């Protein structure tokens, strides 16, 4: 289980088994060994302490007389060689496999911590764990030709909570300006400012060790500090890369060899100055060390108090937890030291209960990873090519697209959106992704264009920018509800101030405001705007329209009257005809009179004949009138239709100009300038053919709303149409003149 939050980015490979902190005890050889008090177990893994009753007083202020301590090994009269074999060998060996390891010597001053850790520098045989560990590391490197392993070392001293670099005297280091600090990052903990030295061979490593040891001794004199009052941490950093190129994993590890400050309980009472300060720091740091190690062993604990002191903070990633950890407690064998010996053994047995879960520090070599991925990619491409040829697919290119290919996809997407391309063929995943990508590109371009157009027309105010809104409100451009003055609310027109078309007296002013300052975000409803248009720019067309309509109505009225008259004449004719027929039959019954071949009729019949003749004449005249009227009506109807069409078209243009076309474009469309969308002189309205008008209105509908880009096209088209219409009109006039 991983508990340390900072470890997210590190890679651990678990051994899967929990281990305990290994606790050993080394007894300093003495001629005065307290045989009757200190007894070792047969397996050399336990120590029993027995205090005689009469001795108890004054030695240990306790009623207890017997203690038994279970440990991982008791080193009694053990050689430096055996100590190394027992305590350090495995930890160092595992460091080369990626496990961090920490070996600490704990105990009262003079009990043999430094002897155990460093040994004597004069006698090779008596060298301690430090030089032996370095030797083992280099020996193991020689045994592993498959790996490129680098070794670095550093030597840190912590005295009274201050950090000292014991290798800072080396020429390559140079004087440090800023004090050292402990830094945590995802890779772990390191001491900023502490010199770390690459060592390619054993001898170099030894030189560094001796340099450090010498500095330790010198410092104790020059700085008046007791070396047994400081903690010393010698660190060996190992980094192992596989020599086979395919292996992108590599391992890193640290071996911390810690010579702790003397653990003896320094009496605070009576101590003063430097001694009191040292005592306080040592007592605190050793007790924090114990707390941290115990907390690490407690799986229920989330927070480990590493930062309480420099010692635990610097060792944060090397204490318990994921490391192999060994505690070697150095004790005296003499009766006089029994009190401190008991204290040290208690500490050791507590540490023995702490469990750890060692894990490999695995990291990934990015460069090698890239190389391996490139290789795999090439292989997969070959594989794809084989599949394509087996599936009878023409060679598909799976490489990243170049600019030309991307431009082609962009064009496809645009054509697809316009509707000129029905579908975009799927080629491969990369192409599909690029199609989507280009959709996004086109979309965002269109959004920008729309925004640009809006910004040309309107001053856009951020709805959340209350300062700007209140400024606009103050200027009277916006009502309290945040609506722009004159803004339609769907029902009427405008909310705060009188709508521009509602009050005839204020019309001109409000309209100006409406157009020039307050182009509303939503235009007024068309029926409302239309009324306004008819009174303003469309007034002339509207007048002509109305005139034509009244002429039409008058002609219709006349036609209807004529029809009524014709019907009356027809009825009278029918009556007259009937009366005439009656006279004729009467005459035939009475016998006819003939005179020189001429039929003699009576006066009554004669009058009827005259009347019928007159009626027929009237009928013909009226009928002719009606026919003329009908032709005129038809013509008038046509004019009225054209006028209406024209009116609506002009309105549409006006509506677009007023509410949709950006102002800068309108400048070129203003009266006086040659370009005027749809504004053919009024005199020519009548001559516009239906087809031209249709084209015009279509043109407006299709081209105008498209935005600025369409205007050069639109203007050119309008100019051409106007020229065409003008010529047509002139020809019409000439023809009419000739008639
Ligand atoms: P510490 O570092 O715990 O204060 P040292 O390692 O300095 O104690 O030991 C004090 C003295 O005892 C030194 O002179 C050291 O050589 C000697 N000494 C300690 N342990 C042994 C041992 N196991 N064999 C021989 N000499 C020892
Ligand atoms: Mg020492």
Q: pLDDT at residue 679 above 80? A: no
The pLDDT value given to residue 59? 53
- C-alpha–C-alpha distance, residues 649 and 701, integer Å: 10
Kindly give the interhelix angle for 690-703 and 603-659, rounded to the nearest 10 degrees.
20
Q: pLDDT at residue 232 above 80? A: yes
Q: Residue written as tokens 């420099």?
A: 310
- Three-class DSSP category at 192: strand
Is residue 311 within 8 Å of residue 285, measured between CB atoms? yes
Centroid of ligand 1 to alpha carbon of 318 (angstroms): 26
In tens, the pLDDT along 565-592 reads 999 999 999 999 999 888 888 887 877 6
Centroid of ligand 1 to alpha carbon of 336 (angstroms): 17
List the structure tokens of 619: 């009928």
Q: pLDDT at residue 689 above 50? A: no
List the structure tokens of 54: 């009469």
Is residue 609 within 8 Å of residue 580, measured between CB atoms? yes
The pLDDT value given to residue 510? 41
pTM exceeds 0.85, yes or no: no
pLDDT confidence of 732, banded at 50, 70, 90?
low
Q: Which ligand is nearest to the CA of 29?
A: 1
Identify the helix (H) or strand (E) that includes residue 14.
strand 11-14
Is residue 161 within 8 Å of residue 310, measured between CB atoms? yes
Quickly count: other Cβ atoms within 10 Å of residue 600's Cβ.
9
Q: pLDDT at residue 501 above 50? A: no
User: How much is the average pLDDT of 696-722?
Assistant: 50
- Ligand 1 pocket check: which of 27, 75, 112, 286 to mutate, most ligand atoms within 8 Å of Cβ? 112
- C-alpha–C-alpha distance, residues 634 and 511, integer Å: 39
User: How much is the average pLDDT of 8-37?
Assistant: 78
Could you tell me the maximum CA-CA distance found in the chain, to the nearest angstrom? 197
In tens, the pLDDT along 43-55 reads 999 999 998 766 5
pLDDT confidence of 92, banded at 50, 70, 90?
very high
Contacts of 423 (CB under 8 A, 6+ apart): 416
Closest CA to 535 of 503, 571, 495: 503
Q: Which residues line ligand 1 (CB under 6 A)?
A: 28-29, 107, 109-115, 228, 262, 330
State residue 183 phi and psi, 5-degree precision: -120, 135
- Three-class DSSP category at 325: strand
Give the bridge partners for 527, in sequence order.
none
The DSSP line for 236-275 is EEEEEEESSTT--EEEEEEEEEEEPPP-----STT--HHH
The pLDDT value given to residue 87? 96
The pLDDT value given to residue 39? 93
Identify the helix (H) or strand (E) that includes residue 634.
helix 603-659
- C-alpha–C-alpha distance, residues 440 and 477, integer Å: 37
More confident residue, 642 or 702: 642
Centroid of ligand 2 to alpha carbon of 98 (angstroms): 29
Ligand 1, atom 10, residue with closest C-alpha:
110
Long-range contacts of 422-431 (CB under 8 A, 24+ apart): 427/396, 428/396, 428/398, 430/398, 430/400, 430/401, 431/401
Please give the distance of CA 485 from its chain centroid, rounded to a whole number. 39
Start-to-end CA distance of the chain, whole Å, equals 109
Is residue 160 within 8 Å of residue 231, measured between CB atoms? no
List the structure tokens of 384: 């794809």
In tens, the pLDDT along 308-353 reads 899 999 988 887 667 899 999 999 999 999 999 999 999 998 888 8
Dihedral sign for Cα 35, 40, 46, 50, please. Answer: negative
User: How much is the average pLDDT of 401-428?
Assistant: 90
Closest CA to 59 of 339, 344, 346: 339
Centroid of ligand 1 to alpha carbon of 81 (angstroms): 15
Question: Residue 80 CA: which ligand 1 atom is closest?
Answer: 23
Closest CA to 260 of 232, 289, 294, 219: 232
Question: Residue 117 CA: which ligand 1 atom is closest?
Answer: 6
Centroid of ligand 2 to alpha carbon of 226 (angstroms): 9
Q: pLDDT at residue 80 above 60? A: yes
- Ligand 1 pocket check: which of 33, 77, 86, 110 to mutate, most ligand atoms within 8 Å of Cβ? 110
- C-alpha–C-alpha distance, residues 354 and 19, integer Å: 8
List the structure tokens of 192: 């900023």
Ligand 1, atom 19, residue with closest C-alpha:
112
Centroid of ligand 2 to alpha carbon of 119 (angstroms): 10
Centroid of ligand 2 to alpha carbon of 323 (angstroms): 24
Q: Which ligand is nearest to the CA of 111?
A: 1
In tens, the pLDDT along 259-278 reads 999 988 766 555 567 777 77
Ligand 1, atom 20, residue with closest C-alpha:
112
Centroid of ligand 2 to alpha carbon of 607 (angstroms): 164
Ligand 1, atom 23, residue with closest C-alpha:
28
Half-sphere exposure of 609 (CA within 13 A, CB side): 8
Q: Which ligand is nearest to the CA of 232?
A: 2
Q: Which ligand is nearest to the CA of 81?
A: 1
- Ligand 1 pocket check: which of 25, 27, 28, 258 to mutate, most ligand atoms within 8 Å of Cβ? 28
Q: Which ligand is nearest to the CA of 113?
A: 1
Ligand 1, atom 9, residue with closest C-alpha:
112
Is residue 173 within 8 Å of residue 212, measured between CB atoms? no
Share of the chain above pLDDT 70, in %: 75
Q: Residue written as tokens 């330790």?
A: 216
The DSSP line for 104-120 is EEEESTTSSHHHHHTB-
The pLDDT value given to residue 373? 87
Is residue 662 within 8 Å of residue 453, measured between CB atoms? yes
Identify the helix (H) or strand (E) that includes residue 575.
helix 539-590
Centroid of ligand 1 to alpha carbon of 162 (angstroms): 25
∠ CA 129-133-139, rounded to 5°: 145
Centroid of ligand 1 to alpha carbon of 109 (angstroms): 9
Question: Residue 78 CA: which ligand 1 atom is closest?
Answer: 23
Question: Residue 107 CA: which ligand 1 atom is closest?
Answer: 3
CA-based radius of gyration for the chain: 56
- Three-class DSSP category at 545: helix
Question: Residue 228 CA: which ligand 1 atom is closest?
Answer: 4
Ligand 1, atom 15, residue with closest C-alpha:
115
Q: How far is CA 527 from CA 246, 437, 501, 648, in A?
A: 78, 43, 11, 11
- Tell me the three-class secondary structure of 304-345, residue by residue: CCHHHCHHHHHCHHHCCCCCEEEEEEEECCEHHHHHHHHHHH
The pLDDT value given to residue 341? 94
Strand pairing report for 101-107 and 249-259: parallel
Question: Residue 120 CA: which ligand 1 atom is closest?
Answer: 16
Q: Which ligand is nearest to the CA of 263?
A: 1
Centroid of ligand 2 to alpha carbon of 138 (angstroms): 26
Most confident region among 139-143, 175-179, 556-560, 704-708 by mean pLDDT? 139-143
User: How much is the average pLDDT of 420-429?
Assistant: 88
Question: Residue 330 CA: which ligand 1 atom is closest?
Answer: 3
Closest CA to 199 of 208, 188, 211: 208
Which alpha helices (DSSP H) does 72-228 contain, by range?
80-83, 89-95, 113-117, 129-143, 202-222
Burial of residue 686, with CB atoms counted within 10 A of its CB: 0-12 exposed, 13-18 middle, 19 or more buried:
middle
In tens, the pLDDT along 597-607 reads 667 778 888 88
User: How much is the average pLDDT of 179-208?
Assistant: 90
pLDDT confidence of 225, banded at 50, 70, 90?
low
Q: pLDDT at residue 164 above 70? A: yes
- Ligand 1 pocket check: which of 115, 282, 333 to mutate, most ligand atoms within 8 Å of Cβ? 115
More confident residue, 662 or 411: 411
The pLDDT value given to residue 511? 42
Q: Which ligand is nearest to the CA of 106?
A: 1
Centroid of ligand 2 to alpha carbon of 265 (angstroms): 16
- C-alpha–C-alpha distance, residues 339 and 723, integer Å: 120
Centroid of ligand 2 to alpha carbon of 227 (angstroms): 7
- Tell me the three-class secondary structure of 398-452, residue by residue: CCCCCHHHHHHHHHHHHHHHHCCCCCCCCCCHHHHHHHHHHHHHHHHHHHHHHHH
Average pLDDT, the chain: 79
Quickly count: other Cβ atoms within 10 Å of residue 73's Cβ.
20
Contacts of 361 (CB under 8 A, 6+ apart): 10, 11, 12, 98, 99, 100, 251, 252, 253, 322
Q: Which ligand is nearest to the CA of 340?
A: 1
User: How much is the average pLDDT of 293-300?
Assistant: 78
DSSP state, residue 85: I
Centroid of ligand 1 to alpha carbon of 378 (angstroms): 64
- C-alpha–C-alpha distance, residues 251 and 19, integer Å: 21
Is residue 314 within 8 Å of residue 165, measured between CB atoms? no
Ligand 1, atom 11, residue with closest C-alpha:
110
Share of the chain above pLDDT 90, in %: 34
Centroid of ligand 1 to alpha carbon of 314 (angstroms): 26
The pLDDT value given to residue 104? 96
- Tell me the three-class secondary structure of 481-532, residue by residue: CCCECCCCCCCCCCCCCCCCCCCHHHHHHHHHHHHHHCCCCCCCCHHHHHHH
Q: pLDDT at residue 67 above 60? A: yes
Which alpha helices (DSSP H) does 321-361 contain, by range?
338-352
Question: Residue 259 CA: which ligand 1 atom is closest?
Answer: 2
More confident residue, 85 or 471: 85
């Amino acid at each position: 289980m991983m508990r340390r939050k900072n470890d997210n980015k590190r890679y651990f490979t678990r051994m899967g088994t929990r281990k305990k902190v290994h606790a050993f005890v080394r007894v300093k050889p003495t001629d005065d060994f307290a045989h009757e008090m200190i007894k070792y177990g047969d397996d050399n893994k336990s120590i029993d302490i027995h205090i005689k009753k009469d001795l108890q007083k004054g030695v240990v202020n306790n009623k207890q007389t017997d203690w038994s301590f279970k440990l991982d090994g008791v080193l009694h009269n053990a050689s430096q060689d055996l100590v190394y074999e027992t305590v350090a060998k495995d930890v160092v060996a595992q460091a080369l496999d990626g496990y961090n390891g920490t070996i600490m010597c704990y105990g009262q001053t003079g009990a043999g911590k430094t002897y155990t850790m460093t040994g004597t520098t004069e006698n090779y045989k008596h060298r301690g764990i430090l030089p032996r560990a370095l030797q083992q590391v280099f020996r193991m490197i020689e045994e592993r030709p498959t790996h490129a392993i680098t070794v670095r070392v550093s030597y840190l001293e912590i005295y009274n909570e201050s950090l000292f670099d014991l290798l800072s005297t080396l020429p390559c280091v140079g004087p440090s300006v800023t004090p050292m600090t402990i830094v945590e990052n995802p890779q772990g903990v390191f001491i900023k400012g502490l010199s770390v030295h690459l060592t390619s061979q054993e001898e170099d490593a030894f030189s560094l060790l001796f340099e450090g040891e010498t500095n330790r001794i010198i410092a104790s004199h020059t700085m008046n500090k007791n070396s047994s009052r400081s903690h010393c941490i010698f660190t060996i950093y190992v980094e192992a890369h596989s020599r086979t190129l395919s292996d992108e994993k590599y391992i890193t590890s640290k071996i911390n060899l810690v010579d702790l400050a003397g653990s003896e309980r320094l009496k605070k009472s009576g101590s003063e100055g430097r001694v009191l300060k040292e005592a306080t720091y040592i007592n605190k740091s050793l007790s924090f060390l114990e707390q941290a190690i115990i907390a690490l062993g407690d799986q229920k604990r989330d927070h480990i108090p590493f930062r309480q002191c420099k010692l635990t903070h610097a060792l944060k990633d090397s204490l318990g937890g994921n490391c192999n950890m060994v505690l070697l407690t150095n004790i005296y064998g003499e009766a006089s030291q029994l009190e401190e010996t008991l204290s040290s053994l208690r500490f050791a047995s507590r540490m023995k209960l702490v469990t750890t879960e060692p894990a490999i520090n695995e990291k990934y070599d990015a460069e090698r990873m890239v190389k391996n991925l490139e290789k795999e990619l090439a292989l997969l491409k070959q594989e794809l090519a084989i599949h394509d040829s087996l599936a009878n697919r023409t060679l598909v290119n799976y490489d990243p697209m170049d600019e030309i290919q991307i431009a082609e996809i962009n064009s496809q997407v645009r054509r697809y959106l316009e509707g000129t391309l029905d579908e975009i063929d799927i080629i491969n995943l990369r192409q599909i992704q690029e199609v989507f990508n280009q959709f996004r590109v086109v979309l965002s371009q269109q959004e920008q264009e729309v925004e640009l157009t809006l910004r040309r027309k309107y001053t856009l105010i951020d709805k959340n920018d209350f300062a700007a809104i209140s400024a606009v409100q103050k200027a009277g451009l916006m009502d309290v509800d945040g609506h722009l003055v004159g803004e339609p609310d769907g029902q009427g027109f405008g909310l705060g101030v009188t709508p521009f078309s509602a009050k005839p007296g204020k019309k001109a002013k409000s309209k100006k405001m409406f157009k020039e300052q307050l182009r509303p975000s939503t235009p007024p409803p068309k029926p409302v705007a239309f009324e306004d248009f008819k009174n303003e720019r469309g007034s002339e067309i509207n007048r002509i329209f109305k005139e034509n309509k009244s002429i039409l109505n008058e002609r219709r009225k006349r036609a209807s009257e004529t029809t009524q008259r014709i019907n009356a004449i027809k009825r009278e004719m029918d009556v007259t005809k009937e009366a005439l027929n009656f006279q004729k039959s009467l005459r035939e019954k009475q016998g006819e009179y003939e005179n020189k071949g001429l039929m003699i009729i009576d006066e009554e019949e004669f009058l009827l004949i005259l009347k019928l003749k007159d009626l027929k004449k009237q009928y013909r005249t009226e009928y002719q009138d009606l026919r003329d009227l009908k032709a005129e009506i038809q013509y008038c109807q046509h004019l009225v239709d054209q006028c209406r069409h024209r009116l609506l078209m002009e309105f549409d243009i006006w509506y677009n100009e007023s509410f949709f076309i950006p102002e800068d474009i309108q400048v070129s469309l203003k009266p006086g300038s040659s370009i005027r969308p749809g504004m053919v002189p009024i005199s020519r309205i009548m001559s516009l053919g239906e087809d031209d008008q249709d084209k015009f209105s279509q043109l407006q509908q299709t081209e105008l709303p498209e935005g600025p880009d369409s205007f050069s096209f639109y203007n050119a088209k309008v100019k051409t149409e106007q020229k065409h219409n003008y010529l047509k009109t002139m020809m019409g006039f000439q023809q009419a003149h000739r008639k």
